[in-house]
Amino acid sequence: MHELACQARQHAYVPYITFKVGVCLRTENNTLFVGCNVQNSALPLGFCAESAAIASMITAGERKIIEIVIVADSQSLCTPCGGCRQQFAEFTVDNAVIHMGDLQTIRKTMLFKDLLPESFSAKNLG
């Protein structure tokens, strides 16, 4: 999964802020989906690698994420932004694992629920 995330990262479209991110998701059916970030000159219209991978997964009819790998070429740990954490919360199973790394290795692994405790979900809607 790390290698697939690195490969997806290579396809990122980032002409304005040259920070490339790649993601690989594994679903309950053991299917893998990848995504990369895409920028737009109207900056709010771009989207994160996590969103791209989730959209691909949903398009294929999958709904439950069990494992996530996020990579970037960065000295600091590349964690999902708040919006992507909320998107992951919608689709991750209770024991989903997230791995965050650079182009060489995974640098941190944790349960996703520990990355976004008390996330907003359908149960909050009443």
Q: pLDDT (tens digit, 0 to 9) for every residue of the chain, 126 residues total? A: 999 999 999 999 999 999 999 999 999 999 999 999 999 999 889 999 999 999 999 999 999 999 999 999 999 999 999 999 999 999 999 999 999 999 999 999 999 999 999 999 888 998
pLDDT of residue 36: 99
* The total number of structural domains that make up the chain: 1
pLDDT of residue 123: 86
Going by their DSSP bridges, the two strands 92-101 and 65-72 should be labelled as parallel
Return the structure tokens found at 31: 């299917």
Strands (E), 12-111: 21-27, 32-36, 65-72, 92-101, 106-111
Active site residue 50: yes
The catalytically annotated residue of 3, 28, 50, 118 is: 50
Residue with tokens 């053991």: 30
Give alpha helix (H) positions in the chain.
2-9, 49-59, 82-91, 112-115
> What is the domain extent for residue 42?
2-125
pLDDT of residue 122: 85
pLDDT of residue 111: 98
Q: What is the CATH number of the domain that holds 22?
A: 3.40.140.10
